[in-house]
Amino acid sequence: MRGIGGNVGKIALKKTMPIVHKLGAVSRERDNLVDELDVVKKSQGDLHQKFNCFVDKQGEQRDVAPPTIPLFKSSHSLSPDLVNLGKRCDLCDWKKWVIARGEVHAVDPNTHVHGAEMGDGNFSVVLMEIIALQSELRKEDGYHDTLGEVGVGGFVVWPKLFLSIYP
Give the tens place of pLDDT for each residue, 57-76: 665 555 556 656 555 544 44
Residue type, 51: F
Average of pLDDT values for 20-39?
A: 86
Q: Is this structure's pTM higher than 0.75?
A: no
Alpha-carbon distances of 113 from 103, 120, 154, rounded to whole Å = 15, 13, 11
Report pLDDT for 1.
43
Give bridge partners of residue 125 from the DSSP assignment. Answer: 104, 156
Distance CA 63, CA 23 (A): 45
Express each pLDDT in 74-128 by its tens digit. Answer: 444 556 778 888 899 999 988 889 999 999 988 888 888 877 788 888 898 999 9
Distance CA 37, CA 113 (A): 35
Report pLDDT for 69.
57
Residue 137 has pLDDT above 50, yes or no: yes
